[in-house]
Structures are given as structure tokens and as C-alpha cells.
Amino acid sequence: MSRTPDTWILTAHCPSVLGTVDAVTRFLFEQRCYVTEHHSFDDRLSSRFFIRVEFRQPQDFDEAAFRVGVAERLAPFAMQVELTPPGYRAKVVLMVSKADHCLNDLLYRQRIGQLAMDVVAVVSNHPDLKPLADWHGIPYHHFPLDPNDKPAQERRVMQVVEETGAELVVLARYMQVLSADLCRKLDGRAINIHHSLLPGFKGAKPYHQAYQKGVKLVGATAHYVNDHLDEGPIIAQGVEAVDHAHYPEDLIAKGRDIECLTLARAVGYHIDRRVFLNANRTVVLNA
């Protein structure tokens, strides 16, 4: 669902206790804020409550007073609250290697306004995609990877993230494994995309391996990065059926399309404040 440009987003999570929904919605009512979208979820296994509300402000809205008031009202519930103003655009760093399909797709969705983000930098271990970033007027940082000094390259990556003020890093087919140290620094704010094949095929040419096994489904998984390769909390997945008429090149092409769509969906969920981390899982409201 597309967010309208005049709405605020209130997100919160806390232990499961009686009165959480009422506390949020009643406060908004008292402040004469009109709720345009509301979703909540109570996880009975973890005893955690999650809520996301979009609302329109009254004409005499006082943001500072509202922030103080909502914090005081929700404090008894130990709610961790985030308030996102209308028109907010997330600052994003994209990391790539040589494949351009996900990069091109994300830049296009930014350009047409489908994703409310500003790509503040493209970082790569190869120079190949610089012309695409240049065409969009986005700084391109080529940081070659020295296998004998990987930390030095990652320090340069982190410097770009910090200097640009990026809230999100997207590995848009960045074909290097991030170190455990960098994963910790980017915990909850780095998204990766990879193919999802059943059964799983590791190593070189996974789609050729899949063809040899006669797979009937190909897909992609977008997840937050952690220090276990491709095992971070999943945000979005996509899948399509294939059959015996799909040759390896057809599987690769279909895989590219699914990766683009799935990654864009995950990025959109994140910047629209629809994703909550819940231990090793995610809660994605109104996905």
C-alpha cells in the first residue's frame, strides 16, 4: 500500500500487556489526529506487541509537544516509539559488484517516486557500474578489495555510511561477504538479496545446477544482514514456477526479475517503517 505524502507514521513495540492498542489510538484521538491506516500484531510466543499507525495532523499540530506527550502516555507500557514525519525520505547507500539489474531497478523506483529514498552513494568493489551512478548524479565509490586487508576496505565503506548519514545500506548484488564486525555495525539497517532455490545450490552457477535437477520453482530472498551468511531475519521473498522448457539462461533471467522485485519490496517495507525485528525473525505489518 502506498503511503500518502501528508501522513505521519507512529511505530512502537513493547511487552504484551492489556491496553496497548487503546493507549496509542486514544492518544491520537485526544490530539485530534485522524488515523488513515492501522496495523498491530501480538506475538504470543515472544509476548511482544507491535503497532504501526499512519495519521494526519490537525492544523494546530505541535510536533514537539506531541513527541513529549506520546512518550509520557506510552511510558507505562515500556513502549519504544518512533515517529516519522510526512515527506520523510530515507538516505540509502547501495553496494554493488558487477551485476546491474538490482541497482538499475532501485534507482528507477527512486526516480519515479515509488521508493521514498535518496540514494546518497553507490559503493562497489569494481568500477564497472560507475557510468550508471554518474547518469543519476550519485557519487560512486570504488573500493577495490585487498584479500589480505579486508578490514581496510570495510572501514572505507563504513566511512561513507557515516559521512552520508545513511540509515540503510542495501547490498544490491554485492558479491562479497561482510565481516562479522561490519555486520554488527550495520545490524538492522543492511538488507541483502540472494537467490532461493529448492533444493539449495551452493557454489558456482546455481541456476545451471538447478536446471540439471529439473527444479520447478525459482525465487529470491531479501533479509537483514547478520554474521551468518544468508541467514539474517527475512523481510520478503518471491517465487515463480518454471518447467522443463526453461533452460539455464531462462532461469537466470527469471531469477534477475524476482531479485529486483523482492529487493525493492523489502526496501520499501523498511523505509515505510513496516518492519520490526523480533529476535531472529521479523514482523512486517501490512506487507
Catalytic residues: 230
Residues contacting 23, CB < 8 A, separation 6+:
73, 74, 77, 79
**Pairing label, strands 48-56, 140-142:** unpaired
Q: Are the CB atoms for 153 and 141 separated by under 8 Å? A: no
Half-sphere exposure of 257 (CA within 13 A, CB side): 9
Neighbours of 37 (CB within 10 A): 15
- Helix intervals (H) in the chain: 20-30, 63-74, 101-111, 130-135, 150-164, 180-185, 206-213, 248-271
- Which region, left, alpha or beta, applies to residue 136 given φ > 0 means left and ψ of -120 to 50 means alpha? alpha
